[in-house]
Chains A and B, each alone.
Chain A
């Protein structure tokens, strides 16, 4: 009985070793979750955008607000934690857009047409970078929109919306983005 146990274990370990000992290929282009990818894009939007100067005068932390997708908030927090910048930054997670605190960059997940319109309206002229993963968000007046295409993340930017909110976007962002315009019905 003991022999059989040892024999089975040895056979299995031998086979395991044979399989593992094959070529070790570097894990190229490792796949990541949509949430961490979204968070990475959001962090980059902040990096490649200039907020109006009056903001610079106030000694306060840069405020990310994430609505509706906790995983993005956590991933963003981890990214900021792992790569601290000179300016202090903080992430706030909210379940809905009803009582927004002061935000510099607002990521909203899963908003519908009506809520988008309300949000864009209420933030018009304020220095808030709005991003969403909702279809048509940028066309309806949001600054940027993330979209999954064939398993990869793409983003579109509404330059007019950025201008309305007094945000200066780096050319690098604009060249990589799909540029969209306001559709009829939005401002």
Chain B
């Protein structure tokens, strides 16, 4: 269910970057060639891709040069991805629109393990922490064709691949402190013993308070500790595990009964994953199993989740023309939410099983100049039944440096737990004659899956000698989008007097068409200087059935800016490296969030043989800016401050 390892390998070779800071080897003697060291981050040099999809790869070097210390912040680098920091501990991340703290059309994998939460079909970004130095690359595939990779990959997949334990030998300790991130400590040790490579790591981060719109301290400071390991055996077995605990001031506000502002929430999670790969003849078999446990004690309630996942897949090359991948998986999710006050999941305990099978054939055509891919995923969800999600793709190599591609796919988002089982009284604008009003939100067990049909096309050029450009266009039609429908108001007698209940339920009465595109490119004017940048455009035309009274759905802008762009300059002067990144994020019209520009600067230089010092400035253009709004009036959005951080790294 997870995804196809074969696809990952393809994508790994797919980045549209040319060689950067490459030496010209044409005049080097063969004796000298024998002495040259090969870069471990060898994937960036792959100038073109065999993938008929909008792919962007954040390489290991990009990660090291980004200066950020958390995953969602890193995803800002990717064109077509919307990242908005809501407050110190919460992010909204989506691909090609429909953004929210509970974004539900995006699949995120860490070493092939899906980290989506059944509660809202989204990702708990405050739960996912990694030592970013140990991440080999992050592959982001935009569009619905990513559906073969797993459930809810409607708008895209973010695939995080950590480094092999053999690539992280030795000790690394990093200490950092800054104005918005007062504490950062990471430590990792890797070694080889008993026929296997191991690494163990831990990371601790502390975030300072941001400020409320009126300038008051938001009190949303948080900290989190994560520890974990990875072990790789030569015979194809990999074992990973991690545990994390974080404490945040969650800032649930808005007059929800019995709740105080800024109450603490404690988030604990852990996971264990085993993967076995066996190559035989023309094929390879991969088996993977994982278990994840989440416990979140938050002001609105306590949420526990246990996820078991098993998958088998077989990859075979047949007759030199066919490259076939097929597999099957099962995912069992047992969750429990004990609401406090006004927020309840009914029933509290839920068990959900998802079974799936997938297959894809890549067929080489025209003597290798073209490649057609046909694939489908058959998914059986205990609530919504069986669904087929097909994709068809075509890639044409115009030359060794140029490709065009096109794709058509269909993808589904199965309803989340909150869509089906929520029972909550949420504050609403006051009723007539000063009577308090509450929206009584009731889940809909018969809610349909949201469906997307996605048409995409793209072009890539690796222009000689040191430049590349990639263009992707999309036209996606969504049906059965979730709407909130309100029934006739009810006057309810409560202990504190009467209140007005506005009964509201979820339905599937909206549809939308999104169109847009992303252009990204890079240029290496000199061996010590690289420039890269991207522009992302997004347009949505929503439409709502006449039977719906959801006014928000009708004017939705998918919480995505119509335009965003960024420019990054990376220079290496001697042993020092200097990075400058300028970003523009357009306004979020419906949410009333104005456009903002962001400037990040970073300088790093080794001190002696073992130490490296870095100085990082983020959001330097303005003292504060806002990036999002609170969601459902339960979560407060704050202002993100300008920040400066210093860090020192010791390697041995």
Interface residues of A (CB under 8 A from B): 1, 4-5, 8-9, 11-12, 15-16, 19-20, 22-27, 29-37, 39-41, 43-44, 48, 70-71, 73-75, 77-83, 91, 93-99, 112, 114-115, 148, 151-154, 172-173, 176
Q: Which residues in A have their C-beta under 8 angstroms from that of B652?
A: none
- Whether B620 contacts A8 by the Cβ 8 Å rule is yes
B424 at the interface (CB under 8 A from A): no
- Whether B42 contacts A33 by the Cβ 8 Å rule is yes
On whether A30 and B23 interact (CB within 8 A), knowing A35-B42, A78-B464, A152-B35, the answer reads: yes
B48 at the interface (CB under 8 A from A): yes
Complex formed: what's the CA distance from A184 to B251 in Å? Answer: 73
- Whether A19 contacts B33 by the Cβ 8 Å rule is no
Residue contacts A-B, CB under 8 angstroms, 20 given: A1-B623, A8-B644, A22-B605, A24-B574, A24-B575, A30-B23, A31-B38, A31-B39, A32-B36, A33-B44, A34-B39, A71-B45, A74-B48, A74-B400, A75-B45, A83-B27, A94-B367, A114-B282, A151-B37, A154-B34
Complex formed: what's the CA distance from A107 to B287 in Å? Answer: 33
- Whether B465 contacts A96 by the Cβ 8 Å rule is no
Complex formed: what's the CA distance from A168 to B364 in Å? Answer: 35
On whether A20 and B603 interact (CB within 8 A), knowing A11-B644, A81-B464, A95-B371, the answer reads: yes
Complex formed: what's the CA distance from A97 to B364 in Å? Answer: 11
- Whether B615 contacts A98 by the Cβ 8 Å rule is no
- Whether B30 contacts A96 by the Cβ 8 Å rule is no
Q: Which residues in A have their C-beta under 8 angstroms from that of B572?
A: 27
Closest CB of chain A to B641's CB: distance in Å? Answer: 11
Q: Which of B283-320 contact A (CB under 8 A)?
A: 319-320
Give the bracket for the number of chain B residues in contact with chain A: 35 or more
Complex formed: what's the CA distance from A82 to B397 in Å? Answer: 23
Q: How many residue-residue contacts, CB under 8 A, span A and B?
A: 178
Write the B1-36 contact mask toward A (1 if CB under 8 angstroms, else 0).
000000000000100000101111111101101111
Given contacts A93-B400, A114-B281, 4 further A-B contacts (CB under 8 A): A9-B620, A24-B573, A75-B19, A153-B38
- Whether A93 contacts B368 by the Cβ 8 Å rule is yes
- Whether B38 contacts A98 by the Cβ 8 Å rule is no
Closest CB of chain B to A20's CB: distance in Å? Answer: 5
Q: Which residues in A have their C-beta under 8 angstroms from that of B400?
A: 70, 73-74, 77, 91, 93
- Whether B19 contacts A22 by the Cβ 8 Å rule is no
Write the B356-387 contact mask toward A (1 if CB under 8 angstroms, else 0).
00000000100110010000000000000000
Closest CB of chain A to B78's CB: distance in Å? Answer: 22
- Whether B401 contacts A74 by the Cβ 8 Å rule is yes
Residue of B24, B320, B644 near A98 (CB, 8 A) is B320
Residue of A19, A36, A173 near B30 (CB, 8 A) is A173
- Residue from B27, B33, B613, B621 having most chain A Cβ neighbours under 10 A: B33
On whether A15 and B623 interact (CB within 8 A), knowing A40-B26, A41-B30, A93-B368, the answer reads: no
Complex formed: what's the CA distance from A76 to B182 in Å? Answer: 49
B447 at the interface (CB under 8 A from A): no
On whether A99 and B367 interact (CB within 8 A), knowing A22-B574, A23-B574, A71-B13, the answer reads: yes
- Whether B47 contacts A74 by the Cβ 8 Å rule is yes
Complex formed: what's the CA distance from A172 to B33 in Å? Answer: 13
Residue of B320, B371, B575, B603 near A16 (CB, 8 A) is B603
Q: Which residues in A have their C-beta under 8 angstroms from that of B464?
A: 77-78, 81
B617 at the interface (CB under 8 A from A): yes
Complex formed: what's the CA distance from A176 to B33 in Å? Answer: 11
Q: Which residues in B have their C-beta under 8 angstroms from that of A95?
A: 50, 364, 368, 371
Q: Which residues in A have their C-beta under 8 angstroms from that of B603?
A: 12, 15-16, 19-20
